[in-house]
Amino acid sequence: MFFFDYNFSLKQDEQGEIILYGGKLSIEIRLNNDTIWLNQRQMAELFDKDSDTIGLLLKNIFASHRFRHQ
Protein backbone atom coordinates (compact mmCIF):
# COMPACT_ATOMS: atom_id res chain seq x y z
CA MET A 1 0.00 0.00 0.00
CA PHE A 2 0.96 3.60 -0.42
CA PHE A 3 0.40 6.00 2.43
CA PHE A 4 0.32 9.78 2.29
CA ASP A 5 0.80 11.78 5.45
CA TYR A 6 0.15 15.51 5.79
CA ASN A 7 3.42 16.16 3.95
CA PHE A 8 2.28 13.84 1.17
CA SER A 9 5.19 11.44 1.48
CA LEU A 10 4.65 8.13 -0.26
CA LYS A 11 5.14 4.67 1.28
CA GLN A 12 4.35 1.27 -0.23
CA ASP A 13 3.53 -2.18 1.09
CA GLU A 14 3.38 -5.56 -0.65
CA GLN A 15 -0.29 -5.28 -1.67
CA GLY A 16 0.12 -2.62 -4.36
CA GLU A 17 -2.99 -0.85 -3.03
CA ILE A 18 -3.05 2.77 -2.00
CA ILE A 19 -4.63 4.35 1.02
CA LEU A 20 -4.50 8.08 1.59
CA TYR A 21 -4.31 8.99 5.26
CA GLY A 22 -4.76 12.44 6.69
CA GLY A 23 -6.06 12.88 10.19
CA LYS A 24 -9.43 11.11 10.20
CA LEU A 25 -9.42 10.64 6.43
CA SER A 26 -8.62 7.27 4.87
CA ILE A 27 -9.21 6.79 1.14
CA GLU A 28 -8.28 3.80 -0.98
CA ILE A 29 -7.02 4.93 -4.38
CA ARG A 30 -5.48 3.27 -7.42
CA LEU A 31 -1.98 3.85 -8.81
CA ASN A 32 -1.31 3.04 -12.46
CA ASN A 33 1.86 4.08 -14.31
CA ASP A 34 2.76 6.69 -11.67
CA THR A 35 -0.75 8.20 -11.88
CA ILE A 36 -3.09 8.29 -8.90
CA TRP A 37 -6.73 7.60 -9.80
CA LEU A 38 -9.70 8.70 -7.71
CA ASN A 39 -13.38 8.48 -8.50
CA GLN A 40 -15.64 11.47 -7.95
CA ARG A 41 -16.75 10.32 -4.50
CA GLN A 42 -13.13 9.84 -3.39
CA MET A 43 -12.18 13.33 -4.65
CA ALA A 44 -15.12 14.83 -2.76
CA GLU A 45 -14.03 13.09 0.43
CA LEU A 46 -10.38 14.07 -0.03
CA PHE A 47 -11.13 17.76 -0.58
CA ASP A 48 -14.05 17.87 1.87
CA LYS A 49 -16.53 18.95 -0.83
CA ASP A 50 -19.75 17.39 -2.00
CA SER A 51 -19.81 15.18 -5.08
CA ASP A 52 -21.83 17.75 -7.08
CA THR A 53 -19.10 20.37 -6.56
CA ILE A 54 -16.42 17.96 -7.75
CA GLY A 55 -18.59 17.06 -10.76
CA LEU A 56 -18.95 20.73 -11.70
CA LEU A 57 -15.20 21.31 -11.35
CA LEU A 58 -14.44 18.28 -13.54
CA LYS A 59 -16.97 19.43 -16.13
CA ASN A 60 -15.28 22.85 -16.24
CA ILE A 61 -11.82 21.29 -16.59
CA PHE A 62 -12.95 19.13 -19.50
CA ALA A 63 -14.77 22.06 -21.16
CA SER A 64 -11.71 24.32 -20.87
CA HIS A 65 -9.51 21.74 -22.65
CA ARG A 66 -6.99 21.76 -19.79
CA PHE A 67 -7.41 18.01 -19.71
CA ARG A 68 -5.37 16.08 -22.26
CA HIS A 69 -6.77 12.63 -23.03
CA GLN A 70 -4.12 10.05 -23.92
pLDDT on residue 53 = 94
Q: Note whether 58 and 40 are within 8 A (CB).
A: yes
Write phi, then psi, for 2 (nearest 5 degrees): -110, 140
Domain chopping of the chain, boundaries: 1-37, 38-70
0.75 exceeded by the pTM? no
Q: 8-62: per-residue pLDDT in tens?
A: 444 555 655 555 555 556 667 777 787 888 889 888 887 888 999 999 988 888 8
pLDDT grade, residue 1 (50/70/90)? Answer: very low
Q: Using pLDDT thresholds of 50, 70 and 90, give the confidence band for residue 68.
A: low
What lies within 8 Å, CB to CB, of 54 at 6+ separation is 40, 43, 44, 47
